[in-house]
C-alpha cells in the first residue's frame, strides 16, 4: 500500500465510504429540514473554544483536546489555550452569553456538526462524532409547552428516517421522581443517588438495583413503594390521572402538571399516541436536567440504548452570565447511531443511490451528443454523468455496473446517425431505443 | 457580560449569526446539490490525520495544529501525532491510497467541510474555514474532457448563488505557457520562476513585473514576446486558432489541443460563452498543477481575487502509493468568500428568511388551536412556529417583528369562537380573517 507511510485513519476518527456518507448526508438533510420546519435557526460556532471556558462548564480535562502547532515559528502565543469543543451545549451557552443583548428570546437554534472527545478508542466509541442538537432558550423563564414540541420533533424525524421501524419516545419529569422520593422521606442527597440507580433500571437485574438502593439507605418498604410507583402503566391520560390521585409535595404536583401539559401539547399537535409514552423509570443521569426528560427507544433494538435524549434545564449559562436562562433541548448522537444502524443493516437501501443516469458514448465521436443530452437531464433534476474515458465499450459498461447506476444511455455510431439513444434499465435488464427528442420525457 | 470568563470566540475561529449561517447553509446546499447532479459522491474523512502524512505531502509545520489532551490521564499514547487537516487534498490522497482496490475509477468525489491553518490571525484570514472541493481521479490516466466539466460546474453554481452578478471562468493550460517559455530558450528552472511572476500579473504594475523578469534573466526581447503572447485576445475559438498558427514545441501543442478539447466540451454542454474565456495570463502558483488551470473572477469585484480555482494535476498520491493517479479538481474557499460577500452586501436578501409563519395565541386558551394548525402548515412544507410564552399580546407581536417573519396568524377568544384566524402580512401590513379550514389554502 502506502510505501513508508501509514495511510489508515487515526484511531477513533471515523471515515465514511461514499455509500455511508450518502446515508449520513441524507440523515443530516432530514434532521436539519425538520428542525427548521419548526422555526429553529442554524448557528455555527467554531470547532475551537477557549480551554478555560470548556473546563469552566464541566469539561473533562482528560478528554478535551488542546491545539498546539507542530512547529512554533514566531512565538505567536495566541494559539495557546485553544481546545476542541466536546459538545454543542457549552458553545451554545457561550454564544447566548455573548449575544444576549442582540438575541430575541425564546431563542431557538439548531447545531449539527462534529464534537471531539479524547476517550480511549474502542468499538462504537469515537473521538470525533457528529451531534445534532436543538434547544429553546428563554430569558428568565420559558413555557412548559415548549417541552411538548421536543417529542413531536423526535417522532417526525424518525418516522422519516426509519419508516420501517417502530420507536417510542419515553417521557418523564424529574420533579415527579424527586418529589416522590421526598415524600418517602429520602433526603435530597440520597435522592440524587437513587436517581442514578433508577437510571440503570434497564441495564441491571432487579436484585442488583435493590442491593444498590439498600446500600444508599433506602429501606425495603420504600423500595417496594418505589417499584410500585415506577411501574405505573396505562395510556398517557390514565397515568396522569393516577399520578394526580397519588398526589404529593409541591415538586411532585408541579412535575405532574408539567407532564400533563406536555401530553396535551402533543395531543394538540395530533401526534400519534403510539409514539410517545409516560415512563416513570426514565431519570437521565445528568444533574443538568431539572424537569421533563426524554429518551427514545427503537422497538426490537432496545440494546442500542436511547437513540435521542434530552430534557429541560433551569440554567444554561450561569457560569458565563448573570442572567438566568432556562431551556429545553434534545440531541441525536448521529455518528454512533448510524454506525450501529449500518451494522444492524436496517437502513433503507433506496436511500443510498447516488447517480440516476450514466451516458456512455461508444467512442469519442458520440461524446459531444452525450454531454449535450446529459446537460438537459441534469437541468431537469436528474443526477447524470457521462463516461469520458477512452476505453472499450465492455469496460465502460463494467463501470456502470460497479457504480450501481440505474439507467445507462448508450450512443454508438448508429444511434448517433439515427438520432436515438439506447436506454438500458440496469435493474431489469430491459433495453429500449428512444428518440433524442424524447429522452427527457422518458425520464419524467 | 461574562463574569470572570472571556466568552468571545478564539482569534481566527469564525462564528456565524443565524442570518449568516442560513446563507452559509443555503450556499452549501446549492454547491452540494450541483456537485451531486454531476455524479460526484460525497466522502467524509476525519478532521484529524496523522502528522507524518500531512507533513509528508507538503504541509507547513508552522501552520498545522497537533492535538494534545489538556490532561494526560492514563499514559495513552495513541493521541500523539494526531493533527488537524489543512486542506481536502491530502485526505483525498490518503483515502484513495488506502481504498485503491475497492474504488471504481474514474473516482468522482466531493468534500465540503472545515480545514485548519494556524496562520497569524488577521482580517479576512481564518484559522478554521470551510472548503468545497470536487476532484475526478483516474487510475494511470484520465481523459481531458473531464477538464471541461469543471468550468461548467463552477458556472452553474455561481449562476444559482449570485444571480445578479456577472462572473467569468478564466481558463489556461500550463503546458502552453511552459512550452512557450521553452521555445523562447528559457530553461525549465527559470520557467518556474517566470510562471510565479506571471501569476502576479494582476496584482502588480507592469514595471514591477518587467523588473522581476529581468532579474530572473529574461531579456527585453523575450519580455516583449511574452507580453504579446499573454495578451492574445478574442473569442475562445479565435484564440485557439491563433495558438495553432503560432505553433511550437510538443508541450505547447499538447496544451493547445487540451485547451481546444476543454472549449469544445463546454460548447457541447451548451455553456454560455459569456461565462468562460481563455486567458493566457492565468498561471496558478502551485507546482502541483500540470495542465488545465482555472480561476473565476466576479466582474466588478476583481479585488476579491479568484472566487473558485483549480486545475489538472498528474500525480495525486505518489507519496502514499506506487500507482499514478492523475486528477482534475476545483475548490471554493467558502468561509473567506462569504465573509467578503457579506461585507460587500451583495447577497440576495430573499435567501435569508428562516421562518414563514408564526402563530400567536392571544392567551393559553388558544394555544391548542394554534399548535394544531401549525402542524398542518408544517406538513404542507411551511416553516411554522407557535409563540408559546405567557406574555402580553403586544410583547408577542414584538417578537414576530424582531424575528422578521412574513406572516403572523393571530387567534384570540373571538377568532377561536368564530373558527377563524387573523392573518397579518408583516411586509405589507395587510390583515385578513381566514376560516380555519381555509388557512392551508391561503398559504398555497
Residues of A with Cβ-Cβ distance to B1 under 8 angstroms: 97-98, 100, 321
Residues of A with Cβ-Cβ distance to B411 under 8 angstroms: none
Answer left, alpha or beta for residue B429, where phi above 0 means left and psi between -120 and 50 means alpha: left
Residues of B with Cβ-Cβ distance to A43 under 8 angstroms: 15-18, 21
Which among A2, A17, A109 has CB closest to B321?
A2
Give the span between the Cα atoms of A194 and A230, in whole angstroms: 12
Please report the ipTM that was assigned to this predicted complex. 0.88
Peptide bond into A106 cis (omega under 30): yes
User: For residues B404 and B297, which has the higher predicted lDDT (pLDDT)?
Assistant: B297
Give the span between the Cα atoms of B301 and A255, in whole angstroms: 59
Poorest-pLDDT segment among A54-68, A75-89, B313-327: A75-89
Length of chain B: 444
Residues of A with Cβ-Cβ distance to B389 under 8 angstroms: 106, 138, 141-143
Closest residue in B to A261 (Cα–Cα): B368
Helical (H) or strand (E) element with B386: strand B384-386
Tell me what pLDDT residue B348 has.
63
Tell me what pLDDT residue B438 has.
97
CA distance B103 to chain A (A): 9
Which among A37, A99, A118 has CB closest to B378?
A37
Q: Name the pLDDT band for B3 (thresholds 50, 70, 90).
A: low
Residue of A37, A81, A369 to mutate, testing the B interface (most B Cβ within 10 Å of its Cβ)? A37
CA distance B357 to chain A (A): 9
Residues of A with Cβ-Cβ distance to B11 under 8 angstroms: 78
**Across the interface, do B46 and A74 touch by the CB < 8 Å criterion?**
no
Output the average pLDDT for chain B.
Answer: 91
- Measured CA distances, A329 to A35, A58, B3 (Å): 12, 18, 25
Terminal alpha carbon distance of chain A: 45
Residues of B with Cβ-Cβ distance to A104 under 8 angstroms: 399, 402-403
Residues of B with Cβ-Cβ distance to A74 under 8 angstroms: 62, 120
Residue of A1, A7, A130 to mutate, testing the B interface (most B Cβ within 10 Å of its Cβ)? A7
Beta-sheet pairing, B41-42 with B107-116: parallel
CA distance A273 to chain B (A): 15
Which among B49, B97, B355 has CB closest to A39?
B355
Q: Name the pLDDT band for A1 (thresholds 50, 70, 90).
A: very low
Residue B1 clears pLDDT 70, i.e. is over it: no
Residue pLDDT, tens place only, B339-372 = 999 889 887 654 455 789 999 999 999 999 999 9
% of chain A beyond a pLDDT of 90: 74
Residues of A with Cβ-Cβ distance to B403 under 8 angstroms: 104
Neighbouring CB atoms inside 10 A of B228's CB total 9
Residue B77 clears pLDDT 80, i.e. is over it: no
Residue pLDDT, tens place only, A132-163 = 999 999 999 999 999 999 999 999 999 999 99
Give the span between the Cα atoms of A310 and B433, in whole angstroms: 39
**Coil, strand or helix at B133:** strand
**Across the interface, do A68 and B68 touch by the CB < 8 Å criterion?**
yes
Residues of B with Cβ-Cβ distance to A7 under 8 angstroms: 53, 94, 97-98, 320-321
Packing angle between helix A250-268 and helix A145-161, nearest 10 degrees? 50
Task: Give the residue from A111, A5, A91 showing the smallest Cα distance to A50.
Answer: A91
Tell me what pLDDT residue A2 has.
42
Q: How many whole angstroms from its chain centre is CA A111?
A: 10
Residues of B with Cβ-Cβ distance to A95 under 8 angstroms: 15
**Across the interface, do B62 and A74 touch by the CB < 8 Å criterion?**
yes
Which residues does residue A109 pair with via DSSP β-bridges, in sequence order? Answer: A41, A135
Ordered strands of the A128-137 beta sheet? A41-42, A107-116, A128-137, A327-333, A309-313, A292-298, A167-173, A276-278
How is residue B173 annotated by DSSP?
E
**Across the interface, do B48 and A10 touch by the CB < 8 Å criterion?**
yes
Ordered strands of the A384-386 beta sheet? A384-386, A357-361, A407-411, A420-425, A431-435
Closest residue in A to B36 (Cα–Cα): A383
B41 is written with which cell numbers? 459522491
The CB-side HSE value for B363 (13 A sphere, CA atoms) comes to: 3
**Across the interface, do A46 and B70 touch by the CB < 8 Å criterion?**
no
Give the span between the Cα atoms of A55 and A39, in whole angstroms: 32
Q: Name the pLDDT band for A52 (thresholds 50, 70, 90).
A: very high
Which residues does residue A297 pair with via DSSP β-bridges, in sequence order? Answer: A168
Q: Please calculate the CA angle A280-A282-A287 and round it to the nearest 5 degrees.
A: 120
Chains A, B: CB pairs < 8 Å: 309
**Across the interface, do B38 and A1 touch by the CB < 8 Å criterion?**
no
Q: Report, as an integer, the average pLDDT of A30-42.
A: 93
Closest residue in B to A368 (Cα–Cα): B268
Residue pLDDT, tens place only, A387-422 = 999 999 999 999 999 888 999 999 999 999 999 999
Beta-sheet pairing, B407-411 with B357-361: parallel
**In B79-130, where does DSSP find H-type helix?**
89-99
Q: Report, as an integer, the average pLDDT of A42-57.
A: 91
Residue pLDDT, tens place only, A5-19 = 899 999 899 888 778
Q: What is the CA radius of gyration of chain B?
A: 28
CA distance A404 to chain B (A): 11
Which among A13, A97, A106 has CB closest to B46?
A13
Closest residue in B to A11 (Cα–Cα): B78
- Measured CA distances, A147 to A107, A142, A233, A258, B377 (Å): 14, 9, 22, 9, 20
- The string of DSSP letters for A296-345 reads EEETT-GGG--SSEEEEES-SSTTT-SS---EEEEEEEHHHHHHHHHHHT
- Measured CA distances, B301 to B167, B168, B344, B350 (Å): 9, 12, 9, 22
Give the span between the Cα atoms of B12 and A49, in whole angstroms: 11
Q: Report, as an integer, the average pLDDT of B190-203.
A: 85
Residue B2 clears pLDDT 50, i.e. is over it: no
Which among A73, A106, A375 has CB closest to B389?
A106
Which among B69, B78, B354 has CB closest to A62?
B69
A212 is written with which cell numbers? 444498590
Give the span between the Cα atoms of A29 and A341, in whole angstroms: 17
CA distance B206 to chain A (A): 34
CA distance A178 to chain B (A): 26
% of chain A beyond a pLDDT of 70: 96
Task: Give the residue from A353, A308, A354 showing the smallest Cα distance to A334.
Answer: A308
Residues of A with Cβ-Cβ distance to B372 under 8 angstroms: 268-270
Residue B30 clears pLDDT 90, i.e. is over it: yes
Q: Report, as an integer, the average pLDDT of A164-170.
A: 95
**Across the interface, do A371 and B269 touch by the CB < 8 Å criterion?**
yes
CA distance B48 to chain A (A): 7
**Across the interface, do B6 and A53 touch by the CB < 8 Å criterion?**
yes
User: Across chain B, which distance is largest between two alpha carbons, in Å?
Assistant: 91
Residue A73 clears pLDDT 50, i.e. is over it: yes
CA distance B128 to chain A (A): 8
Helical (H) or strand (E) element with A198: helix A188-199
Residues of A with Cβ-Cβ distance to B76 under 8 angstroms: 120
Residue of A116, A118, A375 to mutate, testing the B interface (most B Cβ within 10 Å of its Cβ)? A118
**Across the interface, do B36 and A389 touch by the CB < 8 Å criterion?**
no
Helical (H) or strand (E) element with B297: strand B292-298
CA distance B84 to chain A (A): 9
Amino acid at each position: 500500500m502506502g510505501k513508508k507511510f501509514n495511510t489508515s485513519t487515526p484511531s477513533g476518527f471515523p471515515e465514511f465510504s461514499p455509500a455511508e456518507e450518502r446515508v449520513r448526508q441524507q440523515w443530516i438533510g432530514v434532521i436539519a429540514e425538520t428542525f427548521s420546519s419548526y422555526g429553529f435557526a442554524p448557528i455555527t460556532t467554531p470547532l475551537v473554544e477557549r480551554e478555560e471556558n470548556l473546563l469552566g462548564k464541566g469539561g473533562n480535562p482528560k478528554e478535551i483536546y488542546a491545539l498546539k502547532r507542530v512547529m512554533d515559528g514566531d512565538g505567536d502565543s495566541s494559539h495557546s489555550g485553544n481546545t476542541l469543543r466536546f459538545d454543542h451545549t457549552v458553545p451554545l451557552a457561550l454564544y447566548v452569553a455573548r449575544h444576549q443583548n442582540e438575541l430575541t428570546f425564546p431563542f431557538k437554534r439548531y447545531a449539527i456538526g462534529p464534537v471531539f472527545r479524547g476517550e480511549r478508542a474502542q468499538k462504537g466509541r469515537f473521538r470525533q462524532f457528529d451531534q445534532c442538537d436543538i434547544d429553546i432558550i428563554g430569558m428568565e423563564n420559558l413555557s412548559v409547552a415548549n417541552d411538548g414540541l421536543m417529542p413531536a420533533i423526535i417522532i417526525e424525524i424518525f418516522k422519516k428516517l426509519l419508516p420501517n421501524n417502530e420507536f417510542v419516545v419515553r417521557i418523564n419529569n424529574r420533579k415527579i421522581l424527586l418529589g416522590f422520593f421526598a415524600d418517602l422521606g429520602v433526603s435530597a442527597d440520597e435522592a440524587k443517588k437513587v436517581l442514578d440507580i433508577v437510571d440503570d433500571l434497564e441495564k441491571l437485574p432487579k436484585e442488583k438495583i435493590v442491593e444498590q438502593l439498600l446500600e444508599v439507605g433506602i429501606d425495603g418498604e420504600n423500595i417496594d413503594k418505589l417499584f410500585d410507583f415506577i411501574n405505573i402503566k396505562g395510556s398517557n391520560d390514565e397515568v396522569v390521572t393516577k399520578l394526580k390521585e397519588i398526589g404529593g409535595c409541591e415538586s411532585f404536583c408541579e412535575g405532574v402538571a408539567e407532564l400533563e401539559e406536555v401530553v396535551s401539547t402533543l395531543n394538540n399537535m395530533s401526534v400519534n399516541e403510539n409514539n410517545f409514552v409516560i415512563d416513570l423509570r426514565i431519570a437521565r443521569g445528568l444533574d443538568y436536567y431539572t424537569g421533563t426528560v426524554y429518551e427514545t427507544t427503537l422497538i426490537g433494538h432496545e440494546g442500542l440504548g436511547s437513540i435521542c435524549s434530552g430534557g429541560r434545564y433551569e440554567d444554561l449559562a450561569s457560569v458565563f452570565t448573570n442572567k438566568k436562562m432556562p431551556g429545553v433541548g434534545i440531541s441525536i448522537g448521529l455518528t454512533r447511531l448510524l454506525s450501529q444502524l449500518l451494522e444492524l443493516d436496517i437502513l433503507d437501501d433506496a436511500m443510498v443511490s447516488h447517480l440516476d443516469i450514466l451516458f456512455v458514448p461508444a467512442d469519442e465521436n458520440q461524446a459531444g451528443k452525450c454531454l449535450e443530452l446529459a446537460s438537459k437531464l441534469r437541468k431537469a433534476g436528474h443526477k447524470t454523468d457521462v463516461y469520458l474515458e477512452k476505453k472499450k465499450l465492455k469496460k465502460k459498461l463494467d463501470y456502470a455496473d460497479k457504480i450501481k447506476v440505474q439507467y445507462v444511455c448508450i450512443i454508438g455510431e448508429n444511434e448517433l446517425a439515427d438520432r436515438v439513444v439506447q436506454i438500458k434499465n440496469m435493474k431489469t435488464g430491459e433495453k429500449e431505443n428512444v428518440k433524442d427528442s424524447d429522452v427527457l420525457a422518458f425520464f419524467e
